[in-house]
Each structure stands twice: as C-alpha cells, then as structure tokens.
Amino acid sequence: MKRVSIDPITRIEGHLKIELDIESGRVESARSSGTLFRGLEEMLRGRDPRDAQRITQRVCGVCPAAHAIASAQALDDAFGIKSSIPPNGRLERNLMLGGNFIHSHVLHFYHLSALDYLNPHDLEELELEDVSLRDLQSYLKTSDGAPFTHEYTGDYRLGTDISSDLARDYLEALEVRKKAHQMVSIFGGKMPHNMGTVAGGATSRPDIDSITKFMARLEEIEEFVESRYLPGVVEVAKIYDDYFEIGKGVPNFLDYGGFYLESSLDSHNDTRKSFLGGVVSEGDEEVRVVDFNQITEEIEHSWYGVRARGHPTETRSTPSVNKEGGYSWVKAPRYENKPHEVGPAARMRINYLSDNGLVKPEMTKAMNTAGIGIEQLNSVMGRHLCRAVECRSLVKMMKGWVEELKPNEPSCAGYEMPDEGDGMGLACAPRGTLGHWIQIKEGKIANYQLVVPTTWNASPRDRRGVPGPIEQSLIGSDIQDPDNPLEAARIVRSFDPCMACAVH
C-alpha cells in the first residue's frame, strides 16, 4: 500500500489536498480535504441584510455572480418582493449570471484542464506557422515559467496537430473569457464581484448602448463556442474515450434549476426556469421534485462543532480545529442522507431526462457526435462534454434574453426592509446548484448559511462513513505511476473544484 498526497491540487480554485491509498496500481481509499477556512457565514451574522449581496460574492472570485443572485433571491424572499422584480431586473440577472458561466466554463476547459491532456513541451520542436504560437514556442524553450511548468508524466496522446490547435485556442480563450466578464460588467459595473445585482432586481436600466455592447460580445463568443470550444471538447474526448469510463462517481444527481423565465415564480420548484431542477439516480428515467427539507449538512469528518450539523436553516459554522476524525474544512451535504453530484453533468442529465426543449436537442447531438449514451455522462469526459453543451445552450438562451430587454424601463423594485423574515435563494452556479438561507431578526442577519456546489462534490465522508462524490470517483481508479498520479488529477479537475466556495 502506498499513500500519495497531492497538495496543492493546482489549476483549480483554492486550497485542495487529495490523499490516495494505492494498492497494486489501484486506488483503495481517497480523502478530499479543503485546507482553507475563512468563516464568512459567521461573519455575516449581525450585519445589515442587504450587505449579504456584496459579502457573499466574495466567497468566490470565479463565480461571484451566482452568489450575488442566490443572495439577492434570498433577500427577495425574506423581504416578500419575489413577485415584484421587474422583467428587466430578472433578465439582467440572467445575463450577468450567463456571462459568469461562459467565463467559468471556458476557463475551466482551456486554462485549468487542457494541460492535463496537452503537454506544451511537445510543441517545442514543431515547425509552426501561427505567429502567436511561435511566441509560445520560444517561451517554452527559454523558460520554465507557469503555466507551462513541468507536469506529471503519463499518457499525453493528442498528437502534434490537435496539440497545436488546443494551444492556439488556449491563448484565444483568454480573450473569450475576458469578453464574458465584460458582459457581466455591462450590467454589473465591474467583475469579479459585480455591483449590479441587488434585492429587487438590478441597478442599471438597460439602454441601446448597453444592449449593443452586450450583443456584439455575445456574437463573438457564440462563434468561438460553436466552432472551437464544443468541437474541441468532442475531439479531445474521442481521443481519450477511455475517460468516458474513468472517474465514475456517485449515482445520484441534484440541481435546483435556475435562470428564471418569469419574474413571479410561485415556489422554488416552479418549472418556469431555463434549466429545470430535480433529483435523479443513475438508471432512472424519472426526475423527482426536490424536497428542500431533505438537504442536510454533516460534520463528522469536518472541523466543525456539533451545531454545524443539520438543515441549513438550523446550523452554525463554528470551527473546531482539533476535532478527532476531522480531515477537511468542507462539510458533507447530503440529500435524503446520500451524497449527490452537482454540476453541469448533473444539470444536463436532469434537463435531458426532463425533455427540456432548450437542452435536450443539444445534448442528443453532442452525445451522438461523441458516440456515447447517458450512462457515460458520469465520467471525466462526460463532465467536460456536459459543461460545453451547457455553455452552448446558454449562449442561445442569452440571445433571447437580450432581445426581451426593454430599453430605459426600470430594472429594480422598491421595497421596505422588514425587521423579521426568512429567505431561501437558489441559483444555478457554474459548478452546480447553489443555495443561500437567511434569517433576519431585528433588522439584522440572525443566521446565514450557504450550501455551495463544491461543498457537495468535494465533501468528506459522512456519519455513515460514505465518501463524497470526488472521493468515490477516485476510489477504484487505476494509477499507472503513483509518483505521477496524472489519472487522479484528471478525475479531480473534471469536477472543476472551487474550494473557496466549498468552505467559505
């Protein structure tokens, strides 16, 4: 038995350590540890409820727009103004979050994951015509700088043509994700940490100038997503098709849905959403309705005191550094006491099975092109493919939302802040499904809890000893060379972990 510790896992957000016990080239046991705690939930207590929209974005610099929206919707709920958000406010929120998704998904495939499949040093001796790549090539010959420092050795099999295509797209994608952030900024003032999403809607009224500036960027992004990103993922996936069988995680999937189609949703399970929510297990055709009372967080192996255990409306997040059995700052969220995978692979499966007309045709086409069925989505390449399909679907939806904007009409509803109130805010986040729970007493935040996508995926074992989704996807995997656990790095990164989010 060999114990391998991978710390830091680079090319993700934040601080993650993975420990593997490897026996005869196979992972026997895996532990996922979040190694940074900041305590933002405890910090929110006693503050002005409206400040939550600004502070919770600072949970994460990669997906702040998702926290902004979950937080604003929790406040809408607590303030009793859910049904009075003007259409412009709803649409601008959707568009800001959409821009954040595109940035995040493009960043993940090219800048965080591509180097697991592309070895840039393979390009050093090539005769290249592309001038931008020649810059890169001369850099590779003279420097050992990030991002092109030496990687794990292992099977890099893309070949020189696809490698140089991917390297070129790596550089171009830097500009694409930047444009996506600019789109958020058009209605959000700045990114990361936008200053546009607020309780009641959004602060800026759309006008002809903002609409045209947004649209032009969306068109450019669409071209890249259709001609390079989605086909690029399919190309890599076909070459690494064994990774449609590798990295199989838990058999349960969850998403609350998001991107509202109407401002006045009756309940959190209202189906007037662009991405539908639901819960489904592997092999099932039927998607079940989410029962929000079934969400709990467990802390038996997390460094928290007992008050951190339970439903998010009842818990606190008080740290307990010396706790016996603890090995992570991530809690262990469970739905009906079971670990669930969240993220684009869960969301696309749920929407495919729910016959969502905005998703199913795209998913069917992508699965046919890649030559896989739904059972292969629970895998490393399945996650990459679903993320790209989700990005493409979103770009199309966003064009519709831009068209719906009403220039110069209000985007924010007025309100009186109540002294008491409870709110639940749910949103699609790039890495999965996101929930914020707020309780207001005497005009201040009495309690605030977040259950974040990577909290689900990177969770440690629960009280029954059941490992979390990333841990389960590692257990049973083959590792050719324990000194170069490339396969493990590929599996972990396929979840796009965001550790600042997971712990907060």
Q: Enumerate residues 38-77 that contact another protein by CB under 8 A.
A: 38-40, 42-43, 46-48, 50-51, 54-55, 58-62, 64
Name the minimum Å distance from CB 413 to another protein: 9
Name the minimum Å distance from CB 105 to another protein: 14
344 touches another protein by CB under 8 A: no
Strand order in the sheet with 444-451: 421-429, 432-441, 444-451
Which residues in the 393-412 window bind another protein by CB under 8 A?
Answer: 410-412
Which residues in the 138-157 window bind another protein by CB under 8 A?
Answer: 139, 143-152
5 touches another protein by CB under 8 A: yes
Nearer residue to another protein within complex by CB, 131 or 289: 131
Name the minimum Å distance from CB 14 to another protein: 6
Nearer residue to another protein within complex by CB, 451 or 499: 499
Alpha-carbon distance 151 to 153, whole Å? 6
Nearer residue to another protein within complex by CB, 182 or 313: 182
Return the range that interacts with another protein (CB under 8 A); candidates 178-186, 238-246, 292-300, 429-437: 178-186
DSSP symbols for 261-286: SSS--SSTT-S-EEE--EEEETT--P
Map 426-450 to HEC letters: EEEECCEEEEEEEEEECCEEEEEEE
What burial class does residue 150 get, using C-beta atoms within 10 Å of its C-beta: 0-12 exposed, 13-18 middle, 19+ buried?
Answer: exposed
Which residues in the 240-299 window bind another protein by CB under 8 A?
Answer: none
What pairs with residue 188 in β-bridges? none
Of 29, 84, 182, 281, the one binding another protein by CB under 8 A: 182
480 touches another protein by CB under 8 A: no
Which residues in the 96-135 window bind another protein by CB under 8 A?
Answer: 107, 111-112, 115, 120, 132, 135
Nearer residue to another protein within complex by CB, 135 or 219: 135
Helix (H) or strand (E) holding 198: strand 197-198
Angle of helix 360-370 versus helix 380-404 axis, rounded to 10: 150
Phi, psi of 23 (to 5 degrees): -125, 120
Each residue 191-230 as x (binds another protein by CB under 8 A) or -, in order, gives xxx-xx-x-xxxxxx-------x-----------------
Alpha-carbon distance 252 to 339, whole Å? 7
Which residues in the 14-33 window bind another protein by CB under 8 A?
Answer: 14-15, 17
Nearer residue to another protein within complex by CB, 234 or 236: 236
Nearer residue to another protein within complex by CB, 187 or 456: 187
Alpha-carbon distance 250 to 159, whole Å? 33
Find the Cα–Cα–Cα–Cα dihedral 187, 386, 167, 501, rounded to 10°.
60
Of 126, 128, 162, 171, the one binding another protein by CB under 8 A: 171
Confirm if 153 and 137 have CB atoms less than 8 A apart: no
Nearer residue to another protein within complex by CB, 223 or 409: 409
What pairs with residue 5 in β-bridges? 19
Of 101, 117, 187, 495, the one binding another protein by CB under 8 A: 187
Nearer residue to another protein within complex by CB, 56 or 354: 56
Find the Cα–Cα–Cα–Cα dihedral 117, 250, 225, 403, rounded to 10°.
-160
Nearer residue to another protein within complex by CB, 144 or 161: 144
Residue 50: partners with Cβ closer than 8 Å, 6 or more residues away? 75, 198, 199, 417
